[in-house]
Amino acid sequence: MLESADRRTFLKLVGAGTAALATTRLGSAAGGPRPHVHRVHHIPPPDFADSNRHPGLESMLFSLAADGIRFYQGSTPHPLSGPDGLIAADDTVLIKVNAQWKYRGCSNSDVTRGVVQRILDHPDGFTGEVVIIENGQGRGSLNCDTTSGCDGGTREVHANAENEGHSFSWLVQQLFQDDRVGERLLDGIRTTFIAADDHDTEGYRTLANVSYPCFFTPRGTRVEFKEGLWNGSSHDSQRLKWINIPTMKDHKDLNVTGCLKNIYGLITTYNEPIPHHDPNQGGKVMGEFFTLVRPATLNLLDHIWVSHASLCGFPPNTTTRRDMLVAGFDPCAIDAWSARHVLYPISGDPAHDPDIPGYFRSYLLDARDTINANGGIFGEDATIDEAAVIARHQDQRKIQLALARRGDDVYLEWAGAAAPYRVERDSAPDFLSPQTLADGLTATEYTDLGAAADGATWYYRVTAL
């Protein structure tokens, strides 16, 4: 069983002598190999009344940080930040969603909303750009009103969100209304091919058996997906990041869609050298993109809803709510683990089983072998084997608390459970004489002013009321 029963109100104690509290206590990775898969379960529907932060994503970021994977790269003391973090304050961050479909067949725009907000909340002050992108191969719509929705070809908006009107375009144009947040549908450039020295035309370059897009963001930044950001004379590869946000679902040709196959909305399928839906060759295309072009900065596979019996996530009886997110760097491990433990147990369809010979296993193996032949993902081999995949599980109902020292102050931030919260401190870890610092908080952060000034030792806890 993957699930476990837990209290909805959970006490979490993170103790630290403030005199020695230079950075967050959460950030030291646990001993042993780093997990391939991080799973957050029991995610409640987002409220969004006080914040754009998504409860499942918040717990995921703290779970990743517990294994030394910080979301932010920066110098400001913060529980989710460090010099080797994922997203710098001046990065251009592309969020790759699936918008070829709508209903539960497209990426979850509530989760996407939470990712965008977290980037904008960079503790160093975000000066870069976030762009939601997709190539729907002529059928895409970031407004989630594509006619390829299995509903008779209507232009109705049906986002994969608690509110179906909250499409990706709605996020950009109505919710955020921030010039740091944009959208680009790449369908219009999918038939244009450009040379390596063409930095003005929007289109695609080819490399081995794959292609990759080159385009301008709404702010005019030139993105060349393999090389990086073009500044007029050279490329900056370090400041280009992409976050892969697919949804796991059934697929009529390749059996399963997940992290690997989501790159089919980054390549162009126009005049392609290898048929991307050929199960005997598709895995090679996927593996080459993740290695020869650019690996995802983070893969975030959505299991809030699982379309176990349809590609387009419609009608409703072809979908099942699971309220989970899975993340990591290795797309092969994530897809294999998720199909094995989430999709296949729902559907019972052998085509979804990564351990049974078939189209899905075939492309998983080819992608894995191609990735490993090209040096792996960030230098680590990809895997699909159950015995080799290390998974970390986090119940969203449990609070994860972390601290950071900021001069004489102690900054606390946490994720998990639900507001309101109580923040307490004590001079001893048994909390026999706690001091209540705040009661009824709806926010998930608190600053204990001056707590680090006198060299005293304080222990903190946060309780969901």
Q: How far is CA 452 from CA 68, 123, 405, 439, in A?
A: 24, 20, 7, 21
> What is the sign of the dihedral through the CA atoms of 263, 268, 269 and 271?
negative
pLDDT of residue 274: 64
Answer whether 132's CB lies under 8 Å from 97's CB.
Answer: yes
Identify the architecture of domain 1-35+399-465 in CATH.
Sandwich (2.60)
In this structure, what DSSP letter does residue 361 have? H
Evaluate whether 448 touches 409 at the Cβ level (below 8 Å). yes
* Strand pairing report for 92-97 and 81-82: unpaired
**What are the structural domain ranges in the chain?**
1-35+399-465, 70-389
| Pair 326, 334: CB distance under 8 Å | yes
Please report the pLDDT score of residue 149 as a whole number: 66
User: Measuring CA to CA, which residue among 270, 251, 211, 230 is closest to residue 105?
Assistant: 251
CA atoms within 13 A on the CB side of 71: 27
Nearest CA to 463 among 409, 411, 419?
419
> How far is the C-alpha of 401 from the C-alpha of 409, rounded, in Å?
16
* Neighbour-count burial of 349, counting CB atoms closer than 10 A to its CB (0-12 exposed, 13-18 middle, 19+ buried): middle
Per-residue pLDDT of the chain (465 residues; tens, 9 = 90+): 233 323 222 233 333 333 223 223 333 344 456 779 999 999 999 999 999 999 999 999 999 999 999 999 999 999 999 999 999 999 999 999 999 999 998 999 999 999 999 999 999 999 999 999 999 998 999 999 998 767 778 889 999 999 999 999 999 999 999 999 999 999 999 999 999 999 999 999 999 999 999 999 999 999 999 999 999 999 999 999 999 999 999 988 888 999 999 999 999 998 876 666 777 888 999 999 999 999 999 999 999 999 998 878 889 999 999 999 999 999 999 999 999 999 999 999 999 999 999 999 999 999 999 999 999 999 999 999 999 999 999 999 999 999 999 999 999 999 999 999 999 999 999 999 999 999 999 999 999 999 999 888 999 999 999
pLDDT at position 276: 65
Q: Coil, strand, or helix at residue 369?
A: helix
Q: Which amino acid is at 71?
A: F
Omega cis (within 30) before 246: no
Q: Give the residue ranges of DSSP H helices in 32-171.
A: 55-66, 109-120, 168-170
CA distance 222 to 230: 5
Let me know: does 152 contact 87? Beta carbons within 8 Å: no
Which candidate, 294, 270, 284, places its Cα nearest to that of 209? 284
